[in-house]
Amino acid sequence: MALHGLMLLASLLVLLSCLTETAYGGILLSSLPKTLNVSASPHKPDQVNTPGVLLNFVGNIIAGEDKLGVVWSLNNTNFPVGTDAAYKTVNIKLCYAPVSQVGKPGRKTEDDLDKDKTCQIEFYTGPYNASIKWQYYESTLDRHVPHASYFVRAYVNDSAGVLVAYGQSTGPNKDYNIFVVSGSHKRPKMVSIWFSVFVLFFFVA
C-alpha cells in the first residue's frame, strides 16, 4: 500500500519536473540579447501615465488596489530600427528583487530559465507591436501578489514561439527602480465585518 503511494508520488514528481522543464527548453538568460528598454510605474489608480513621458514612480503599492504600468520599447541606443521586426509576443512578469530572495530557495535566481525562480508572477501576455514606439500596458495588481520587493522583466518570442530577447526594469545588480507591493487592506475589513456579524449573532442568540 505504502509502496504504491510512494511510486505514485515519484511518477507524479517526474511528470511535474518534465512539465516545468519543457517551458523554456534550457535557454540561459545570459544568452538572450537584452534589446528592450522596460520601465515599471507602480501608481495610484487615479494617476494617469503617459508612456514615454517619465512615469511617476511610486515606490510602494498595494496589491488589489493600486496599479502597475509597464512600458517597453526597443533600446535604440544599441540596436538599429528593425531589430524587433520579427518579435511577435511579449510576456511580462513580476520578479523578486534580491532583498526578497534572501532565505527563500523557492525564489532563487538561476541563469537556466527553466530553473530560474526570480520571475514567477504573470502580469501580461500580448502582441509585440514594433510600430508603436512605447508599448504600454497597465492593470490593477492582483490581490494575491505576495508582499515583496519587485522589478519587472519582459520576454519576447518570435512567430515560431521561440524566446528571442528580453528586457527588465532594473540593472544587472537589480538594485534600482525596485518597488514594494504590500498586502491589500481590504481583507482585514472583510474579517472585521464577519466578526461583527458573528458578535451580533452571538448576542441575538
Ligand X SMILES: *[C@@H]1O[C@H](CO)[C@@H](O)[C@H](O)[C@H]1NC(C)=O
Residues lying near ligand X in the complex (CB under 6 A) are found at: 23-25, 37, 73, 75-78, 89, 91, 125, 127, 129, 131-132, 157, 161-163
CB of 150 to ligand X, least distance (A): 17
Buried/exposed 190-201: b ≥16 CB within 10 Å, e otherwise? eeeeeeeeeeee
73/118 with CB nearer ligand X: 73
Cα 152 to Cα 136: distance, rounded to the nearest angstrom: 13
66/84 with CB nearer ligand X: 84
CB of 200 to ligand X, least distance (A): 50
Cα 104 to Cα 120: distance, rounded to the nearest angstrom: 13
Any idea what DSSP says for residue 112? B
63/119 with CB nearer ligand X: 119
125/192 with CB nearer ligand X: 125
CB of 173 to ligand X, least distance (A): 12
Residue 117: how many other CB atoms lie within 10 Å: 15
Residue 80 is placed in which grid cell?
538599429
129/196 with CB nearer ligand X: 129
Half-sphere exposure of residue 194, counting CA atoms within 13 Å on the CB side? 6
DSSP string, 34-75: B-EEEEEEEE-TT----TTSPPP--SEEETTTSEEEEEEEE-
**Quick one: CA dihedral 114, 120, 126, 130, positive or negative?**
negative
CB of 1 to ligand X, least distance (A): 38
100/177 with CB nearer ligand X: 177
CB of 60 to ligand X, least distance (A): 23
CB of 197 to ligand X, least distance (A): 44
